Amino acid sequence: MVSFTPTEDQQLLVDTIRRYADKNIRPAAHDVDEAEAPDMDVIQAGWQLGLIPSALPEELGGFGDMSAISGAMIAEELAFGDLSVAMHLLAPSLLAYPVTLFGTAAQRESLLPAFLEEEFTAATAAFLEPGMMFDPRAMQTTATPSGDGVKLNGVKACVPLADESRALLVYARNAESGDIEAYIVPDDTPGLLIQEREKLMGLRALPTFRVKFEDAQVPVSAKLGGAVGIDIQTILNRQNVALGALAVGVARAAFEYAREYAKERVQFGKAIAQNQSIAFMLAEMAIEVDATRLMVWESAWMLDQGQDATREAYLARQYADKMVLTVTDSGVQTLGGYGFIREYPAERWLRNGRGFPTFDGLAIL
C-alpha cells in the first residue's frame, strides 16, 4: 500500500532531532560559521542522540536499523539545523556505514565498537579530489599492489575531521585492475600527510582538510571487504540519497525562514508576503522542497527494498543539487538587503546550498 507516513519510531526520531536542531544547533549556527570552528557542546549533544549506533549491527551493540529512509530523515533534520553540524556529526558514518555494509567480520569487530562510545568519536573518509572534473569512477588516487598490501598515492580534498580521526576510509583506483577500492588507513600511517585546513565558501564550521598520500603503505587486511571488496555503485547511490536529503534540509530551512520573514516585513503598508511576486516565489520553494523530499524518499525506499536505485538516486541528487541552489537563492532574495547581511542566516544557506554538486563523498547512509 502506498503511504507517505513515517513509522512511529521514525516520527519520534524526527521530533527528537528537530528539538535538538531548534534548541542546540540553530542558536549556535551563526557564531560557529563566523568562528570557523565547531561548538563541541553542540556536537556532543548531537552525538548523545545515538544516531550512528542506531544503524550499526545488533551483534556489536548497535540497533541494526540501517534504513536508508530513516537515514534520509535524520540527514534532513540535522541539515535543517545547520549543514556544518550535520556533516560533522555524520562524518564518522563515512567510515562506519561502508564498514557495516562491506566490512569483513574482523573489520567490523575492530572498527565499529568505537562508535558506540559516549564521547564523540571522529572518523572520516577521503573521497573527493581537488580540481575540476572529479569522476568517482576514475579517481586519480591510486592503490598500487606492493609487497603484502598496497601503496597509496594521490591527493584528496574536503576530508572532514581528518586531523582528529583515528582512521580514514580512503577511496582509490587500483593501479592494476582499475577497480575503485576503499582502504582503512590509521592516522599514524607513514606517508599519510594531513595538509592545512581548507577555507571554503560555506561549511565554515566544519574542519575539512587536504590529505596527501605519498607511498602510504597499508596491509592487505586494510582493504575494505577483503578479497570481495566493495560495490562502488552502492556507495555512490547511498551518497546521492544522503546528499539529496541534506539538500532538502538546507532548502527547507531557507524556505521556512523566508516565509516567516515575508509575513512580518511590512512595506507599502502591508506584509511583503501579500504581494504575489513574493508569495508565488515562496509557493515555488515549498513545492520544490516537497518534490525533492519525495524523490529522496523513493530512492531511499528502493535501497531499503534491495532494489537497484542507481537511476532514481542519481536523478534525485541532480534534482536536489539544482533545487537547493534555487530555493536558498530565493531565500536571500525574499529578505532583500537583509538577505545579504551575515547577521541573518539566509546568505549562509545560499553559501552552503551552492556546494551540493561538489559534495561527493561528504555524506552517506
Partner 1 sequence: MTINFEIPENIQQAAQMVRYIAETTMRPYSRELDENEHARPTAFTEAMWPILSGQQQASLTKIEKQLEAQKNGDVAVKSDTKTRPSNHYLSMMYMVEILSWGDAGIYLCLPNSALGGFAVEAVGTPEQKLRLLRRFAEGEPSWGAMAMTEPNAGSDTSAIQTTAVFDEATNEWVLNGEKIFCTSGGLALDESDGLVIVWATVDRDAGRAGMKPFVVEAGTPGATVVKAEKKHGIRASDTVSIAFNDARIPADNVLGSPEVHTDKGTKGFKGAMATFDASRPLVASGALGIGRAAVEFVKEKFDEAGIEIPYGAPYHKLTAVQRDFMEMEAQLKAAYLLTLRSIVMLDEGTSNPLEASMAKVKAGKAITWVTQKAVELLGMMGYSREHLAEKWMRDAKINDIYEGTGQINTLIVARRLLGYTRNELA
Which residues are near partner 1 by CB under 8 A?
1-7, 10, 69, 132-137, 233, 236, 259, 262-263, 273-274, 276, 279-280, 282-284, 286-288, 290-292, 294-295, 297-298, 301-302, 310-312, 314-316, 318-319, 321, 357
Task: Determine the distance from the C-alpha atom of residue 125 to the mean position of all C-alpha atoms in its chain, rounded to a whole number.
Answer: 11
Q: Which residue number, 319 or 338, has a Cβ lying nearer to partner 1?
A: 319
Minimum distance from CB of 330 to partner 1 (Å)?
13
8 A C-beta contact, residue 262 and residue 271: yes
Minimum distance from CB of 73 to partner 1 (Å)?
9
Interior CA angle at 248 toward 243 and 252, to 5°? 150
8 A C-beta contact, residue 232 and residue 183: no
Q: Which residue number, 105 or 132, has a Cβ lying nearer to partner 1?
A: 132
8 A C-beta contact, residue 149 and residue 219: yes
Grid coordinates standing for 86?
A: 550535520
Interior CA angle at 176 toward 174 and 182, to 5°? 15
Per the listing, cell 580521526 goes with 165
Minimum distance from CB of 273 to partner 1 (Å)?
5
Closest CA relative to residue 206, chosen from 92, 77, 349, 89: 89
DSSP assignment string, 89-143: HHTTHHHHHHHHHH--HHHHHHHGGGGGSSS----EEE---SSS---GGG-S-EE
Residue 154: strand pairing partners:
213
Q: Which residue number, 218 or 296, has a Cβ lying nearer to partner 1?
A: 296
Minimum distance from CB of 11 to partner 1 (Å)?
9
Q: Which residue number, 47 or 171, has a Cβ lying nearer to partner 1?
A: 171
CA-based radius of gyration for the chain: 20
CB atoms within 10 A of CB 142: 17
Q: Which residue number, 163 or 301, has a Cβ lying nearer to partner 1?
A: 301
Minimum distance from CB of 35 to partner 1 (Å)?
33
Minimum distance from CB of 313 to partner 1 (Å)?
9
Instruction: Provide CB contacts within 8 A for 34, sequence distance 6+.
Output: 204, 342
Per the listing, cell 565498537 goes with 113
Q: Which residue number, 133 or 227, has a Cβ lying nearer to partner 1?
A: 133
Q: Which residue number, 11 or 177, has a Cβ lying nearer to partner 1?
A: 11
Q: Which residue number, 106 or 294, has a Cβ lying nearer to partner 1?
A: 294
Angle between helices 83-90 and 40-47 (to 10 degrees): 60
Minimum distance from CB of 278 to partner 1 (Å)?
9
Minimum distance from CB of 340 to partner 1 (Å)?
24
